[in-house]
C-alpha cells in the first residue's frame, strides 16, 4: 500500500508541474465547463472530434491539485480514442472513484489512472477527481455547463450508453 501512496503523490506532483494538454484548443468541435462548488474547482474542457475519434483535447481552469492531475491524465488518456472508449473510461473512472469498481476482480481499462483509486477513502476529494471526467462527458454530449452539484450529479447519473 505504501507504494501505491507514493506513486499517487508522484503522479499528482508530476501532472501539476507539467499538466498535459493544458490550454486552449483551436477549432474545438465540443466544449464544456465544469464546476465543483465543494472545493472551488472550475475547469473547461475542449475537444475536437474527427469522425468518431477524439483528435485533440485541452483543458484549463482553476482547480486543486487532484482535479488538475486528473484532468491532465484524462486528456492524455482519451486523446486519439473513440468516443465510445472515452465514455467507457468515464464510467470506469467514476465507478473507481466512488468505490463501486473493484479493481482486482472486475475488468477495466484504467491503466495508470488507477493511482486515483485512493480518493474513494477521501470523500471530499472524490468530486475533485471526477470533475474533469464529468466535464468531458458533458462536452461529448454537447452540454455546455455542468456541476458536481447539478441534478445530473456524476454520483448518480447513468453515464455512457451512447
Ligand atoms: Zn478540488
In a domain, 126, yes or no: yes
Q: Report how far residue 126's alpha carbon sits from residue 148's, in angstroms, rounded to the nearest whole number.
A: 10
Q: Which domain holds residue 95?
A: 2-152
Ligand 1 midpoint to CA 116 (Å): 13
Rounded to the nearest whole angstrom, what is the distance from the C-alpha of residue 40 to the centroid of ligand 1? 6
103 alpha carbon – ligand 1 mean position (Å): 24
Per-residue pLDDT of the chain (162 residues; tens, 9 = 90+): 557 778 888 999 999 999 999 999 988 999 999 999 999 999 999 999 999 999 999 999 999 999 999 999 999 999 999 999 999 999 999 999 999 999 999 999 999 999 999 898 888 899 999 999 999 999 999 887 888 876 555 554 444 443
Q: Are 22 and 44 in contact (CB under 8 A)?
A: no
Contact partners, residue 19, CB within 8 Å, separation at least 6: 59, 68, 69, 71, 72
Distance 65 CA to ligand 1 centre (A): 7
Residue 79: its pLDDT value, please? 97
CA 1 remoteness from chain centre? 24
Residues 6+ apart with CB under 8 A from 75: 20, 21, 45, 57, 58, 59
Under 8 Å CB-to-CB from 59, ≥6 apart: which residues? 19, 21, 22, 43, 44, 45, 46, 71, 72, 74, 75, 132, 135
Q: Is 89 helix (H, G, I), strand (E, B) or coil?
A: helix
- Say what the pLDDT of residue 8 is: 84
In sequence order, the β-bridge partners of residue 20 are none
162 found inside a domain = no
- Number of structural domains, the chain? 1
Does residue 39 fall inside a structural domain?
Answer: yes
Q: Is residue 109 part of a domain?
A: yes
pLDDT value at residue 162: 36
Does residue 158 fall inside a structural domain?
Answer: no
- Partners of 162 in beta bridges: none
Q: 148 lies in a domain?
A: yes
Give residue 143's pLDDT.
83
Asked if residue 50 belongs to a domain, the reply is yes
Distance (Å) from CA 52 to ligand 1 centroid: 31
CA of 25 to the centre of ligand 1 (A): 23
Distance 126 CA to ligand 1 centre (A): 9
The answer to the question of residue 143 being in a domain is yes
CATH code, domain carrying 22: 3.90.1010.10
Question: Which residues share a beta bridge with 88?
Answer: none
Amino acid at each position: 500500500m505504501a507504494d501505491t501512496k507514493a506513486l499517487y503523490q508522484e503522479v499528482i506532483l508530476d501532472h501539476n508541474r507539467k499538466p498535459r494538454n493544458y490550454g486552449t484548443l483551436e477549432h474545438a468541435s465540443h466544449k464544456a465547463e465544469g464546476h465543483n462548488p465543494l472545493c472551488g474547482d472550475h475547469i473547461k474542457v475542449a475537444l475536437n472530434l474527427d469522425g468518431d475519434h477524439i483528435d485533440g483535447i485541452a483543458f484549463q481552469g482553476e482547480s486543486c491539485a487532484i482535479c488538475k492531475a486528473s484532468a491532465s491524465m484524462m486528456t492524455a488518456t482519451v486523446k486519439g480514442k473513440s468516443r465510445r472508449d472515452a465514455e467507457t473510461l468515464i464510467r470506469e473512472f467514476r465507478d473507481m472513484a466512488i468505490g463501486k469498481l473493484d479493481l482486482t476482480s472486475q475488468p477495466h481499462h484504467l491503466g495508470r489512472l488507477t493511482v486515483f483509486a485512493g480518493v474513494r477513502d477521501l470523500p471530499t476529494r472524490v468530486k475533485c477527481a471526477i470533475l474533469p471526467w464529468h466535464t468531458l462527458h458533458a462536452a461529448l454530449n454537447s452540454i455546455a455547463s455542468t456541476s458536481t452539484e447539478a441534478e445530473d450529479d456524476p454520483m448518480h447519473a447513468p453515464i455512457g450508453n451512447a
